[in-house]
Structure 1
C-alpha cells in the first residue's frame, strides 16, 4: 500500500510548454490545445527494494511524470501505480523485436487512463522512428500496437487495458543515430593516497534516471553521480573511444574502445572506467567515434573540491546523529541529485519524520535549497529523526 503522499503538479501549455497558472482548468483530452501538467510521483520500495511510482490524479487531463517522462491522458480521477520491469527478451526475439525503451508495468484500478505517451530516443527529424511499435505484455502473451502518433519525444497509443507497455522496434531496423546519455559515477577514496575511479555509462536517453541511480546505489553506496550535461547522439553498434586529459600515467582509461548498445534498459553497467591515480579537481573527457574520429561528447568534469570524500567511515562514530548530519551537511547539499532528493522526501514522509506541510515546502524549492531545507529540518528534530535519515543511506550517495 502507498502512503497518502502529495503529488505536486506544474502546468505547461502544449506545444509551447510555457508555464500557466496552476488553477487553470484542464481541457478535454481530445482538445488540440489541452494543457499539460507535470507531476512528481510518490516513490515507494517493496521488500526487494524495487521502486514503484504512484500518481494520484484528481481530474481529467494530460499529466507528465517528471521522473519517467511518461504522459498519462486521464478521463477522470484515479490512482496510477507504475514501475519499470525487465523485458522478456526471449519473447521479443520470437517476434523479431528488440527493446526501444523501458518496459513499464502500469495499473489503474479506476481504469481512468485512456491514452499513454511513452518517451523514445529516436531522431524523428532525420527519419528515425519508422520502425517503432509499442509492446503490450499481458499474462496471456504479447501484442504489438501500431502508434496512434509519434512525436519528436513520445510514442502515443490509446489504451483500454493495463499491465506492461514499452517501445520496441524490428530487430533488423537500421542502426540510425539516437539521442543518448553519457552518465558519470565517481568513487572518491577515503584515503588520499589511494586511487579512485570514474564509471562511464553510455545509455539511450529514454532510460529512467531514477532507476539508474537506484541500481548503481545498490552496487556501491559510496558512489556519487556527477551531474554534468550528458546529452549526445550515438549510433547503435558503433564503437566509441574515450580519452581523458591529462593524458599521462596519472589517468588510465579502460577499455579504450567500447560499443554502444541501445537496448540496455535494466542492467546498467559501465562502458568505460577511468582510474585516477592522484587527486584532481577537474578532468577533461572526450567521447569520439572510432571510425570518423569525430567528437560526439566533450566535457570538463568537476570532481569533489576536497578530493577526498567525507563518507560514513570518516565521520566520528562518537557523534550524536544530529551532530553527524551537521558534520556532512555541506557535502550533502552539494552532492545529492534531484531524483534521490525527491525519493528521500517521500521516505521521510512515509516514516513520519516530516509532515505534509514540510514536504510541500521542500518541493517548492530548487535542488540545493531543497537539500539544505531537508537536512536542517531533520537535524533540528533531534536524534531520532536524524537517525532515520542516516539509516536511509542518503547522506553518502548522489
Structure 2
C-alpha cells in the first residue's frame, strides 16, 4: 500500500460554488489522507467531533454527530442492479465506513446545472449485501443531494432512465482534464491525453489510473450534452485521434482518454479547443507544458517506488 498523504487537515471555511443553503450548513473542509493500492484509491479522515465537513478531494459532505474515523472509496457500479430498477448512474458509487454510527446525513455532489435541476431529477441508491434501495433525497441544492440512511455501505446518485431520456437536451456540468505522457525518445513525440468527464468525478481517481502521466492543472469547468459529438483542435499537434467522439456519462472504474493529442517533444505551450457538433467552442485554454514534463530518470524512480503516491 502506498501512502499519499500523511496528515489529514481541517480548515474552517466554506467552499466556492456551493449554493447558499449548502454553504450555511458546512462548517469546515478537510483534506483526507489518501492511500493508493494497485490502481485503487482510499480516503481516510478522523473527524474531531460533531459538525458538517466537506472533503476537498471528492466533494462529499458528512454531517457527523461525534468524533469518529471515516474510511471511503469509490467502487464499481453493478449495471445489472441499475437496469433492474430502470436507473442510470449519475455519479460515482462511494463505499463508506465509519468507526461508529456517527454519520447522520450524507451530501453527494451532482453534475446537474442549476437551471436544469428538478425536484425529482435525482435520487440516491443505497447498496448493501447485493441489494439496492432507492432513497428519497431530503434536499437537492445547487451542488449536492442530501440524504439520510439506515446504515453505512455504498451510496451513489442515479437518474431515472425515463426521466433522463425526456431531459436529454439538458446539459451536464463537465470538466476537461489533461495528462501529459513521457516523450518517446525514438520518435521525439509526446502524447497529451484529453479527458471529457462529468464534473463530479474526483480528479484524484483519474490521477491514480494514470499515475505515470503528468496531470496538467488548468481551469476545467464546462458543460456537455450526453451522446453529443465533440472534437478537439490544437494547431501545433502532429496528430489528434479520434477525429470526433461522443460524450459519455462515464463514472468509472476505468477512465480512458477521450482524445489523444500527439505533440513534438519540445512543445512548451499549446492552445486546445473543444468544440461541439455545431462547431461552437465549449472549452478553450492556453496550456503551459514547460514545467510539467517528468524526466525519464524521475519517471523510472516513480515506477520502481509504485508511482507518485
C-alpha distance in 2, partners of 1:244/1:33?
Answer: 42
C-alpha distance in 1, partners of 2:273/2:136?
Answer: 39
C-alpha distance in 2, partners of 1:32/1:96?
Answer: 33
C-alpha distance in 1, partners of 2:131/2:31?
Answer: 32
Q: Does 1:265 align with 2:252?
A: yes
Aligned to 2:55: 65
Aligned to 2:297: 312
C-alpha distance in 2, partners of 1:128/1:281?
Answer: 44
1:115-142 Cα shifts (integer Å, max 9, x gaps): 0000001012334574211010010500
Q: 1:38 to 1:308 in 2, by over 3 A?
A: closer
Aligned to 2:266: 279
1:239: how far off? 0.6
Is the 1:11–1:35 Cα contact (8 Å) retained in structure 2?
no
1:336-362 Cα shifts (integer Å, max 9, x gaps): xxxxxxxxxxxxxxxxxxxxxxxxxxx
Q: Does 1:11 align with 2:12?
A: yes
Aligned to 2:284: 298
Aligned to 1:187: 181
Bigger helix fraction: 1
1:267: how far off? 1.1
Q: TM-score, normalised by structure 1?
A: 0.69
Q: Does 1:113 align with 2:103?
A: yes
Give 1:43's match in structure 2, choosing from 31, 34, 38: 34
Is the 1:14–1:34 Cα contact (8 Å) retained in structure 2?
no
**Aligned length, in residue pairs:** 301
Q: Does 1:132 align with 2:122?
A: yes
Is the deviation greater in 206-215 or in 191-200?
191-200
C-alpha distance in 2, partners of 1:2/1:280?
Answer: 32
1:51: how far off? 2.1
Is the deviation greater in 69-78 or in 278-287?
278-287
1:308: how far off? 6.5
| Aligned counterparts, 1:373-388, within 5 A | none
C-alpha distance in 2, partners of 1:196/1:5?
Answer: 33
1:388: how far off? 10
Give 1:91's match in structure 2, choosing from 81, 91, 95: 81
C-alpha distance in 2, partners of 1:152/1:39?
Answer: 21
C-alpha distance in 2, partners of 1:129/1:102?
Answer: 21
C-alpha distance in 2, partners of 1:198/1:213?
Answer: 14
Q: Does 1:204 align with 2:204?
A: no
**5+ long unaligned stretches in structure 2:** none
Q: Does 1:159 align with 2:144?
A: no
Q: Residue 267 of structure 1: SS of its match in structure 2?
A: coil
Q: TM-score, normalised by structure 2?
A: 0.88
Quick check: which has more Rg, 1 or 2? 1
1:300: how far off? 1.0
- Structure 1 residue runs of 4 or more that deviate by more than 6 Å after TM superposition: 1-4, 14-17, 387-390
Q: Does 1:79 align with 2:69?
A: yes
Q: 1:59 to 1:140 in 2, by over 3 A?
A: same
Bigger strand fraction: 2
